[in-house]
Structures are given as structure tokens and as C-alpha cells.
Amino acid sequence: MLLLLSTTLLLAASLQSVVGHGHLVDPVPAFTDKYGDPSKFAATLNGPTVLPGSSYEQGPDWNTDQFTKHFKASSFKTLKAFLDAYPTGGDCGITDSNGPAQPLPSTVKWANGQEGFISSHQGPCELWCDETRVFQDDNCAANVPDGFMSIDTSKCSGAKRLTMLWLALHTPEWQVYKNCVNLSGVAPGPGPNPNPSPSPSGSSGPSPSPTPEYPSPRPSPRPSVSPTPSPSVNPNDPIQGWKQCGGAGYSGNTKCVNGFQCTSLSLTYSQCMPYSNNKGQVTRYGQCGGLYYTGSTECSKDDSCVASGPWFSQCLPGAN
């Protein structure tokens, strides 16, 4: 019996990043579509097919635990190696591999509007300087919610490109995010304190020479983020986009804000997703089909609607 599972993951290009999924903001990549949604995913993978052993359909926490378990038992040593084994949007996803070079900060920032990683989009992420991994976490949404990823920039000496990889596991159709930024070097950090002024002459007798003080090497401090005071929550307020609105054990409001609808992604998890209709063309990498999908199935002339499983089809580059 088929589960009542819907993966209506349409990302409308007109949506602002505040209701999207996020992207690098420091350094900032160039995007292949200057007028498109910079926060959309680059591709999807059917979890049970590419990493067998679980159905990955019981909500973000459970899905991520299952992924971590089976991934560590697989032959893949890094997320990059795993994504390189499948068609997942090329090396750079929706970002321009020939974009302008930028300096590399010691703290790389991923953001979704005013937040970091979307809390529901749990899963692993990595940062790479060329072929050197400089950051990794098994669950970035849970462990790095503000999106600040501190790195050792000395490992990036001479590197030409920074690559951000993120895999969101909140449904069995995993979302792949890839951002690339070409590098011009390491961004300057705070300079060392100036040498202390010499003591005035005229002291009686020689005094021991003070030990020279050198600034001890340390990474640049993590940017401080002043928490925004949490407003009082009215249980009758509609749920914001991309937040949970239902599922087994859920007791909150099920009404979403305007422009979103509460969509069941599994028996244990429903999420406020952009409202879709069946008119117009679907943008590249947007959903164009799947069980219970009710939106448009028409891709642009340069794209094809490709099924990655019974629940999800996506507009991908290629002749119709």
C-alpha cells in the first residue's frame, strides 16, 4: 500500500531567499541565472535507491540518523565523493564556475534570509578548497543553525575554488545544494597589536630585556550574532514557509502563511511548501511531476521533466 507521501518541492523563481533554502553569503557566489532563485537546490537523489538500507521517510531527525548510519557503512568517505558518483548538478550546481574571484574569509557563511540553515532541512554539509576538505558536519541544520562555518584558511593556500556541498534529507527525495566561489586568496584578518613603545631612557642600571611578544596564531574570532528576542508565539498564528505544519505527534497549527500550503512529506512530517498551480512553465531544477503532484508539468524548451522516483520528477537540462 502506497504511503500518503507527497514531495511537492516546487521552488518558484519569484520567491525571495527569505523563504527559500539558502546559499553562500560570505563569500558570495555568482549564479548562472541572475534573475532566478539563488536558494534552490541543484538536483535530487532518491535516498532508498542511492543509499539502500532505509526508507528515509519518518521525518528529518530519523532520516538523518539513518543516513549517517548507512553512509558510514558505505564505501564513501566524504559527501563530495558520494555526490560525485551521481548526476547532482555538476561541480557547482546553480552557481557560475567562472564567476569573479573573491577573498576567502576564515568564517564562511550560509544564510536563508535572516537565519542560517533551515531547521527542517537536516543533513550533512562540507566545505572544500579545491580537493582539500576544510569543514564537515553530519547534520548542519542541527549543529550549525546560524550557518557560520569556521575554517583553517592555511589549508586553502593557493586554492582556486571554494565549494559548498549540502544534502537535505527531510524527505526520501534528497535535495542537493552546491555553491562554488572562485578564490583570489585569503581575506585579511585583524592585524597584530603594534609593538609596545620602548621604555623611556634614564633608568638606573640595566634591566632584564623583556621577552618579545608575538601574536599567537589563532583563527579569526567567530562573528558574534546578537540573538533576536523571540516574540511571544500565538498558537493561532499561521506557520511560516518551510516550517513543520503536521505529522504524527504534531500538535501545532496546520495553517500556513499566504502563498504556502501544508504538504505531507511523510506520515510523520508535513511542511509549509509554496502553493502551486498547474499553469506556466517550471523553472530549471523545479518539480514537474510525481505522485500527488498537482502543479505544472511543462519545462522550458531546453529542459526535460525527468523522474527520479515515483514521488518526484524534476526539470533538468536536456532536449525534450
Report pLDDT for 233: 61
Report pLDDT for 291: 61
Report pLDDT for 182: 98
Arithmetic mean of pLDDT, 130-145:
97
Question: Does the predicted TM-score (pTM) go above 0.75?
Answer: no
Query: Which of residues 4 and 297 earns the better pLDDT score?
Result: 297
Q: Cell 555538476 sits at which residue?
A: 90
Say whether pLDDT at 260 is over 90.
Answer: no
- The whole-angstrom separation of Cα 154 and Cα 110 is 21
Confidence of residue 227 (pLDDT cuts 50, 70, 90): very low
Report pLDDT for 12: 32
For the stretch 175-225, pLDDT in tens is: 999 999 999 988 876 544 444 444 444 444 444 444 444 444 444 455 544
Say whether pLDDT at 62 is over 60.
Answer: yes
Confidence of residue 309 (pLDDT cuts 50, 70, 90): low
Report pLDDT for 195: 47
Distances from the Cα of 192 to the Cα of 8, 195, 215, angstroms: 52, 9, 6
Query: Which are the contacts of 168, defined by CB distance < 8 A and separation ≥ 6?
Result: 21, 41, 118, 121, 122, 123, 141, 174, 175, 177
Report pLDDT for 175: 93
Arithmetic mean of pLDDT, 57-77:
94
- SS3 for the chain is CCCCCCCCCCCCCCCCHHHCCCEEEECCCCECCCCCCCCCCCEEEEHHHHCCCCCCCCCHHHHHHHHHHHHHCCCCCCHHHHHHCCCCCCCCCCECCCCCCEEECCEEEEEECCECCCCCCCCCEEEEECCEEEEEECCHHHHCCCCEEECCHHHHCCCCEEEEEEEECCCCEEEEEEEEEEEEEECCCCCCCCCCCCCCCCCCCCCCCCCCCCCCCCCCCCCCCCCCCCCCCCCCCCECCCCEEECCCCCCCCCECCCEEEEEEECCEEEEEECCCCCCCECCCCEEECCCCCCCCCECCCEEEEEEECCEEEEEECCC
Report pLDDT for 278: 59
Confidence of residue 245 (pLDDT cuts 50, 70, 90): confident
- The whole-angstrom separation of Cα 181 and Cα 99 is 7
Confidence of residue 283 (pLDDT cuts 50, 70, 90): confident
Arithmetic mean of pLDDT, 256-268:
75
Report pLDDT for 314: 76
Range with the lowest mean pLDDT among 27-36, 46-55, 122-131, 162-171?
27-36
Say whether pLDDT at 160 is over 80.
Answer: yes
For the stretch 120-132, pLDDT in tens is: 899 999 999 999 9
Query: Which of residues 188 and 226 earns the better pLDDT score?
Result: 188
Confidence of residue 279 (pLDDT cuts 50, 70, 90): low
* Cα pseudo-dihedral 15, 19, 24, 29, rounded to 10: 0
Domain residue limits, the chain: 23-182, 235-275, 277-319
- The whole-angstrom separation of Cα 50 and Cα 45 is 7
Angle, CA of 259, 290 and 238, to the nearest 5°: 25
Whole-number average pLDDT of the chain: 78
Share of the chain above pLDDT 70, in %: 72
Report pLDDT for 312: 67
Arithmetic mean of pLDDT, 216-237:
55
Q: How many residues does the chain have?
A: 320
Q: Cell 506520515 sits at which residue?
A: 267
Largest CA distance in the chain: 95
- The whole-angstrom separation of Cα 11 and Cα 273 is 9
Range with the lowest mean pLDDT among 100-104, 153-157, 244-248?
244-248
